[in-house]
A and B are shown apart, each in its own frame.
Chain A
Amino acid sequence: MGFMSIVQQIIGGFGTTLFIFFFTLLFSMPLGILFALARMSKFKPLNLFMQVCISILRGTPLMLQLIVVFFMPYYVFGIKLSTGWRVYAALIGFSINYAAYFGEIFRAGIQAVPVGQHEAAEVLGFTKTQTFFKIVFPQMVKRVVPPVTNEVITLVKDTSMAFAIAYAEMFTMAKQVAAQQSNIMPLFVAGLFYYIFNIIVAWVMGRIEKKLSYFE
């Protein structure tokens, strides 16, 4: 059983890890914007509701949230589950959890845009929606790149929690290969995969940061 064969088996799980990673980012970022807007809403009930949601999502383990999302249809609504539901539950669980973190980062980013920007836009006659998308959003994006990079790197590693609801990703595969060979090597190989992937993520985010450095 050579090194290459270990790598090959782990690559099988890497696809699943990438799948969770990309779709979680795809869903959680827009959702995070909505969370941030709801969190800043002047409509008190919505604001309060969002505050409670974010508090729970950030204050309880992601693993528990995944289990709740996966089993809720059965334990709350009595709907029998299928194995196909796992992937949806994983994506919903990850996306909502990460949206809570992104939401708070985005909120800080939005609030850091100086009030003068809003006033300049208001005097020029921009609507609130135009002001948000044309003026506030691009400046917010620049401000949130470093903290978002942190979260994205954490997400790469958090994907391994998908196995809480039996969605087998790379780390689970690595553990299975380790068990099959009673050898610790596959775990290190998996670690190497995570590390290389995160170097790529950090590089990409660094490029984005550089691209946005044309303004302050």
Chain B
Amino acid sequence: MKKMIALLLAGIMCAGLLTACGGSSSPAATDTKTEEAAPAETETAGDEAAAVDTAAASEETAESMTFTVGFDAEYPPYGYKDETTGDYTGFDLELAEEVCARRGWTLVKQPIDWDSKDMEINSGAIDCLWNGMTYTGREEDYTWTEPYVDNSIVIAVNADSDIQTKADLAGKMVVAQAASSADTALTNDPGDGSNDENLNLCATFSGYETIKDYNDAFMQMSAGVYDAIAVDIGVAQFQLAANEGKYRILDEPLSKEQYAIAFAKGNTELRDMVQETLNEMAADGTIDKIVANYADFNLPEMLIIGK
């Protein structure tokens, strides 16, 4: 009996390990493809015409390559669930679709728990973070594309609130999404005094809290739990549009910020490919066409790629 139990346990562990290996074999395969493409490009470096050919060739070999974009599906308009189709869409995902179409990659839209984004990207479970991701202040943490959107962090309040300026926030309850750029802007102390203005402002609040997502924050503010929300302007505009007359935005922004696409640190090869395609899309007007779908959110005004 004892032996039987031991054998069964051992069997289960083996099965577990086998499944583990089986499950992780596909990214290894993806890796190999990218590695194969890399030396080819280095060899022909310096000869531009040849480089184009090799790029075309490497595209062919990478025909079945998947490109996994990690995003927060509760972050409209950059990534969210479409009302009518139920599919994941948004400005960033539309851009990613176009990049993949041009590169011949298969796009995998992977909604992730935003708090786990670093583990997700470092482990290779996703290829990039493309979701209105703030570049400012995180320059050294990832390998970035050039910024493509300029986003301010603003303060949203209930329309009937007596808060008009940042100074009026003294003694009020303020909230931001956990691990968001607004949260960073209010609480990050780089130690060199560069963020003291926002830190001092935060100190005047009666309370500052973080919350899992902004949708909750707005619902709770209208319920009176919070007086003000520190939030990226795109998200704020979306909430204003969806709930007409309910909220307004203070004139003074908390900070100006830029968005870019983040890759695992050191993955310049994939970054360069995406950047190159994005540049093409900016040059031929495709990005302008896509961003026009998001005029409601002020996105065309925020776009900086190709400007």
Binding site for B on A (CB under 8 A): 1, 5, 8-9, 12, 31, 34, 37-38, 41-43, 46, 67, 70-71, 73-75, 79-86, 88-89, 92, 128-129, 132, 163-166, 168, 172-173, 175-182, 184
Contacts of B68 in A (CB 8 A): 83
Given contacts A41-B5, A88-B19, A180-B82, contact A166 B24 (CB under 8 A): no
Q: Would you give the 0/1 interface string for B118-158, flagging 1 where the beta carbon is closer than 8 Å to chain A?
A: 01101111100000000000000000000000000000000
Question: Is B225 on the interface with A (CB-CB < 8 A)?
Answer: no
With both beta carbons as reference points, the residue of chain A lying nearest to B223 in the complex is identified as A184
Q: Establish whether residues A79 and B219, one from each chain, have CB atoms under 8 Å apart when the complex forms.
A: no
Q: Establish whether residues B113 and A164, one from each chain, have CB atoms under 8 Å apart when the complex forms.
A: yes
Given contacts A34-B5, A81-B27, A82-B26, contact A74 B20 (CB under 8 A): no
Contact for A82 among B80, B86, B125, CB less than 8 A: B125
Within 8 A of A (CB), among B3-46: 4-6, 8-9, 12, 16, 19-21, 23-24, 26-28, 30-31
Given contacts A1-B83, A179-B213, A179-B215, contact A168 B73 (CB under 8 A): yes
> How far, in angstroms, from A81 to B214 measured CA to CA in the complex?
30
Q: Establish whether residues B111 and A12, one from each chain, have CB atoms under 8 Å apart when the complex forms.
A: no
Q: Establish whether residues A75 and B111, one from each chain, have CB atoms under 8 Å apart when the complex forms.
A: no
| Interface size band for B | 35 or more
> How far, in angstroms, from A178 to B84 measured CA to CA in the complex?
14
Contacts of A180 in B (CB 8 A): 76, 80-83
6 smallest beta-carbon distances between A and B, as pairs:
A80-B124, A74-B123, A179-B74, A82-B27, A85-B23, A81-B125
Of B235-243, B272-280, B296-304, the one contacting chain A is B235-243
B217 to chain A, nearest CB (A): 10
> How far, in angstroms, from A8 to B124 measured CA to CA in the complex?
33
Question: Is B178 on the interface with A (CB-CB < 8 A)?
Answer: no
Contacts of B111 in A (CB 8 A): 166, 168, 172, 176
Contacts of B21 in A (CB 8 A): 79
Q: Establish whether residues A8 and B86, one from each chain, have CB atoms under 8 Å apart when the complex forms.
A: yes
Interface-centre pick from A37, A82, A86, A88 (highest chain B CB count, 10 A): A82
Question: Is B75 on the interface with A (CB-CB < 8 A)?
Answer: yes
With both beta carbons as reference points, the residue of chain A lying nearest to B80 in the complex is identified as A180
> How far, in angstroms, from A166 to B120 measured CA to CA in the complex?
9
With both beta carbons as reference points, the residue of chain B lying nearest to A75 in the complex is identified as B123
Q: Establish whether residues B215 and A92, one from each chain, have CB atoms under 8 Å apart when the complex forms.
A: no
Question: Is B1 on the interface with A (CB-CB < 8 A)?
Answer: yes
B229 to chain A, nearest CB (A): 13
Contacts of A74 in B (CB 8 A): 122-125
Contact for B242 among A83, A172, A181, CB less than 8 A: A181
Q: Establish whether residues A83 and B108, one from each chain, have CB atoms under 8 Å apart when the complex forms.
A: yes
A71 to chain B, nearest CB (A): 5
Q: Establish whether residues B6 and A46, one from each chain, have CB atoms under 8 Å apart when the complex forms.
A: yes
Q: Establish whether residues A178 and B26, one from each chain, have CB atoms under 8 Å apart when the complex forms.
A: no
Q: Establish whether residues B5 and A46, one from each chain, have CB atoms under 8 Å apart when the complex forms.
A: yes
Contacts of A181 in B (CB 8 A): 83, 242
Q: Establish whether residues B218 and A182, one from each chain, have CB atoms under 8 Å apart when the complex forms.
A: yes
Question: Is B161 on the interface with A (CB-CB < 8 A)?
Answer: no
Q: Establish whether residues B5 and A178, one from each chain, have CB atoms under 8 Å apart when the complex forms.
A: no
B42 to chain A, nearest CB (A): 22
Contacts of A73 in B (CB 8 A): 20, 24
